Amino acid sequence: MRRLGSAFDGVCNVTSVILLWATVVVVFLQILSRYVFKAPLVWTEEVARFAFIWLVFLGVSVTERQAAHFRVTFLVEKASPRLRYTLWALVEVGIFATLSLLFFEAVRFTRMGSHNVSPVLQLRLDFLYMSFPAFVLLAIINRLRRDVTTLASRVANPFA
């Protein structure tokens, strides 16, 4: 299972780097064609936007995996270990409820906009709209992985 998780993380990381570089290269081409050659490439703006949208959503799920989202922990750190664990459990239930609701809304949003076409490239935007439910699903998977690790350590050391 750990190997599968590592492979999953590797795919997310490599995809993020590819999307970042694609965005940088396409924006550079856009600037070069517009200001140096005075002949703008019309497709570059759309491609850069699409890559950036996927990059942002993928970045959210990677940040979820690394527990790097912003949070305020001042009051939690002052609590006893038992209360801290209870607060953690309540927050996790709330986060999973929110992510589940967000997933169903994302699927609805994707269905609603799936027949749109991009103005310049005339591409169906299904792949762009799919970034929203994909990111929520990745966030849920990464959150579950972290929570299983936390619960396993709690079982191993119940008084921590």
Residue range 91-107: average pLDDT?
Answer: 94
Q: Phi, psi at residue 126, to the nearest 5°?
A: -55, -45
Alpha-carbon gap, residue 84 to 65, rounded angstroms: 21
For residue 160, the model assigns a pLDDT of: 59
Closest among 138, 121, 114, 131 to 52, alpha carbons compared: 131
For residue 158, the model assigns a pLDDT of: 66
For the chain, the structural domain boundaries read: 2-156
pLDDT band at 35 (very low <50, low <70, confident <90, very high): very high
What are the pLDDT digits (tens) for 111-141?
A: 988 788 989 999 888 888 999 999 999 999 9
What are the pLDDT digits (tens) for 8-26?
A: 888 888 999 999 999 999 9
For residue 25, the model assigns a pLDDT of: 96
Residue range 29-50: average pLDDT?
Answer: 93
What are the pLDDT digits (tens) for 47-95?
A: 999 999 999 988 888 888 887 777 778 888 888 888 988 888 999 999 9
Report the percent of the chain where pLDDT is more than 90.
42
Q: Phi, psi at residue 53, to the nearest 5°?
A: -60, -50
